[in-house]
């Protein structure tokens, strides 16, 4: 995001954005994203609408920032970084995504991810892959943006299929399978 990015140093801005993100997270437990208004978010966060618009252009931007922040927190906790050259880092990223999706679905496993949530997660994975690919550009002449887009959708699709499967295998096993499938797209060694 430009201008109004999720990463801001001013503690007051961070605090307000955290209030808004927490409010949205709370509301998402109660109803679908499409039924949540900016007014609902501001009332739950105890801020006014002008404050909301000082930080986010719309609720979609808030959702993307919330999902991105929470997924990045998980990656930071696990010290996951993808530099575009390491299959084990890809596997760690995929494992974190599987675990994140499992957490978002909740213990009953019934809540479907809404299209807006899917889009936000894919953007985070794509951005991370692209940053790694820009550090180590592929020699095949294919644009890193195209590779990152293809790989992020494939990773997300496989992880979502896994998260929706009853009696699924362990996330570690799934991450290994997806790493084997995705490594050729990223020109990484298949085994991590």
**Minimum mean pLDDT among 3-17, 19-33, 104-118: which range?**
104-118
Please give the mean pLDDT across all residues of the chain: 85
Question: Among 164, 154, 156, which residue's Cα sits nearest to residue 71?
Answer: 156
pLDDT band at 110 (very low <50, low <70, confident <90, very high): very low
The mean per-residue pLDDT over the stretch 147-173 comes to 93
Res. 26: pLDDT tops 80? yes
Per-residue pLDDT, 188: 78
The mean per-residue pLDDT over the stretch 109-122 comes to 68
Per-residue pLDDT, 111: 54
Q: Can you count the helices (H) and strands (E) in the chain? A: 8, 0
Dihedral angle sign, alpha carbons of residues 149, 38, 30, 8 = positive
**Minimum mean pLDDT among 37-41, 60-64, 86-90, 174-178: which range?**
86-90
- Give buried/exposed letters for 25-50 (b at 16+ CB in 10 A, else e): eebbeeeebeebeeebbbebbebeee
Res. 100: pLDDT tops 50? yes
Domains and CATH numbers, the chain: 11-56 (1.10.10.60), 67-186 (1.10.357)
């Amino acid at each position: 995001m430009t201008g109004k990015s999720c990463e801001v140093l001013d503690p007051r801005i961070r605090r307000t954005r955290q209030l808004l993100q927490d409010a949205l997270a709370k509301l998402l437990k109660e109803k679908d994203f499409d039924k949540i208004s900016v007014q609902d978010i501001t009332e739950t966060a105890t801020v006014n609408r002008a404050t909301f618009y000082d930080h986010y252009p719309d609720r979609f931007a808030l959702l993307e920032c919330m999902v991105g922040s929470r997924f990045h927190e998980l990656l930071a906790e696990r010290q996951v970084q993808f530099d575009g050259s390491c299959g084990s880092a890809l596997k760690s990223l995929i494992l974190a995504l599987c675990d994140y999706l499992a957490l978002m679905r909740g213990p009953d496993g019934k809540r479907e991810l809404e299209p807006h949530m899917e889009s936000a997660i894919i953007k985070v994975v794509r951005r991370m892959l692209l940053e790694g690919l820009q550090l180590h550009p592929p020699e095949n002449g294919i644009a890193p943006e195209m590779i990152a887009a293809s790989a992020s959708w494939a990773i997300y699709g496989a992880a979502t299929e896994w998260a929706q499967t009853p009696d699924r295998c362990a996330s570690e096993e799934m991450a290994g399978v997806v790493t084997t499938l995705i490594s050729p797209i990223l020109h990484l060694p298949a085994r991590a």
